[in-house]
Amino acid sequence: MNLALFDLDNTLLAGDSDFEWAQFLIEKRVVDREVYEARNLEFYEQYKDGTLDIHEFLDFQLKPLSRHPRSQLDAWHNEFMTQKIKRLVAPGAHKLIEQHTLNGDLCVIITATNSFVTAPIARILGVSHLIATDPEQRNGEFTGQVAGIPCFREGKITRLESWLDDRNLTWLSFLESWFYSDSLNDLPLLIKVTHPVAVDPDSTLQSHAEKNNWPIISLR
């Protein structure tokens, strides 16, 4: 058996679901535009240049989840999927996933974006396994805090290995492994797999891929 890992934002999606969710809440007037939009843009730039403090960002990103009932959040998310996400699915995403599925590979989306935002996206992409940053919940409602280790940078490796261990699997369970990503933030996990693939990469990952003769592809 082989393992196929897919980053989500700017890889399978031609955009960033974390950023778009925040913009959606601004447009719905759920959060204050003047305060929230500037911070959202600031965090997005920090993510792109590799300087993001994930805990500071999650405090910003998860707090709105704690201010509204889950039923309201779910209703908003349904609108979000229609208005923002479906148009962002990269044209080549379904075909790439289908190729690995037909080969019998274990397909997993692994993303720093929280699971509330990303679980429905994984479903429309046809990927049943998702490893994401988990928002803390109590009695089915979000607390605004993160549960466990954020699925970001080296945390993606930790979360993946824990997920495999829960299924009595290790890296040695797979003959080959792929990871598809656009971001310099995913270099720790890209280095771990047997087939790292840069997808519509940022400039840092582009340079690293060229230097190491990694495949560079576009799904757009």
Q: How far apart are CA 220 and CA 209, in angstroms?
A: 19
As a whole number, mean pLDDT of residues 57-72 equals 90
pLDDT band for 52, please (50, 70, 90 cuts): confident
pLDDT higher than threshold 90 for residue 146: yes
| Distances in whole angstroms, Cα of residue 208 to Cα of each of 182, 198, 203 | 12, 9, 9
pLDDT higher than threshold 90 for residue 36: no
Q: How far apart are CA 19 and CA 174, in angstroms?
A: 34
pLDDT at residue 49 in the model:
85
Angle (deg, nearest 10), helices 115-124 and 70-80:
40
> At residue 148, what is the residue type?
G
pLDDT higher than threshold 90 for residue 35: no
Q: How far apart are CA 113 and CA 198, in angstroms?
A: 19
Q: What percent of the chain has pLDDT over 70?
A: 100
pLDDT at residue 39 in the model:
86
- Phi first, then psi: what are they for 28, rounded to 5°? -80, -5
Q: Is 16 a catalytic residue?
A: no
pLDDT higher than threshold 90 for residue 54: no
| CB hemisphere CA count around 110 (13 angstroms) | 32
Sequence-ordered strand ranges (E) for the chain:
3-6, 106-114, 129-138, 141-147, 177-181, 195-199, 216-217
User: Which of 7, 18, 186, 200 is an active site residue?
Assistant: 7
As a whole number, mean pLDDT of residues 80-104 equals 97
Q: Is 165 a catalytic residue?
A: no
As a whole number, mean pLDDT of residues 180-198 equals 97
> Can you give the pTM of this predicted structure?
0.95
pLDDT band for 174, please (50, 70, 90 cuts): very high
Dihedral sign, Cα of residue 162, residue 179, residue 132, residue 53: positive
User: pLDDT digit string (tens) for 38-51?
Assistant: 888 888 888 888 89
Choose which CATH entry (3.40.50.2300, 3.90.180.10, 3.90.230.10, 3.40.50.1000) describes domain 1-220.
3.40.50.1000
pLDDT at residue 47 in the model:
86
User: Which of 9, 16, 18, 200 is an active site residue?
Assistant: 9
**3-state secondary structure at position 170:** coil
Q: How far apart are CA 173 and CA 1, in angstroms?
A: 7
Q: How far apart are CA 198 and CA 51, in angstroms?
A: 20
As a whole number, mean pLDDT of residues 163-168 equals 98
